[in-house]
Amino acid sequence: MSNRLGELTIEEAAQEAAGNWKDFNCFVWYRDDIPDAENWAIIYTHHRDSGLLDQSNASVIEKTLEPFTDGDDPDVVMESHNHWAVGHIDGFSIRVLRDSEITEAFRKYHELAEAMDQYPILDEEDYSNRELEATFENIPLAAWRIKDEYEDLPDDWTEHVYDWLSNHRCSALENMDDQGGWPDEDDLRDAFDALGYEQAESVC
């Protein structure tokens, strides 16, 4: 939905978005009894299994729209809905029109949608940080079998392995399926050996 809106003018986007929730299949919105529900849109940004890009963009969108969530009658309400396939799907409802005029909140969101239509990443630094964090989390998972081949690993072995791979085998840290880097066991074993980690006697 967001990509489609970014391709449209603000007027076209407002016309398409207002009341869009009425066209959702098998959907019940708990706020459908508000007086101007037909002027609201529901925009989903990410779900339980979303990749890093959707997570990053969702965070940027939420921060940008946060000023419009204040007050007794806000123009933006953060939403989280259950879904049988993805567990939950998150985003926000946004008042597109107020007194027949396009709200500032929707104009701000449309700017973000236009930006994503031109280039998919809203915040390069945020996305890069998420890639790094995910890679650090992935390294122990990727090494779960071979790390038992070595003894007396230091507490910060993950950091040392990451640094070695970054300097000598950077391809092993490339983002995989938008879930961060996932080095294979050969690369990890080379890193362990180069760092001087001793193999357990049963392995030697």
Q: How far is CA 118 from CA 16, 33, 190, in A?
A: 20, 36, 41
Q: Domain span at residue 139?
A: 124-194
The pTM (predicted TM-score) of the whole model is 0.89
Read off the pLDDT of residues 5-38 as tens digits, 9 standing for 90 and up.
Answer: 999 999 999 999 999 999 888 777 888 788 999 9
Residue at 34 is within a domain: yes
pLDDT at 1: 41
Q: What confidence tens digit (pLDDT) does each residue in 112-158 have?
A: 999 999 999 999 999 999 999 999 999 999 999 999 899 889 999 99
81, 143: one domain: no
Q: Which of 118, 137, 169 is the last residue of a domain?
A: 118
Residue 67 resides in a domain: yes
Q: Which residue has the tokens 């207002």?
A: 18
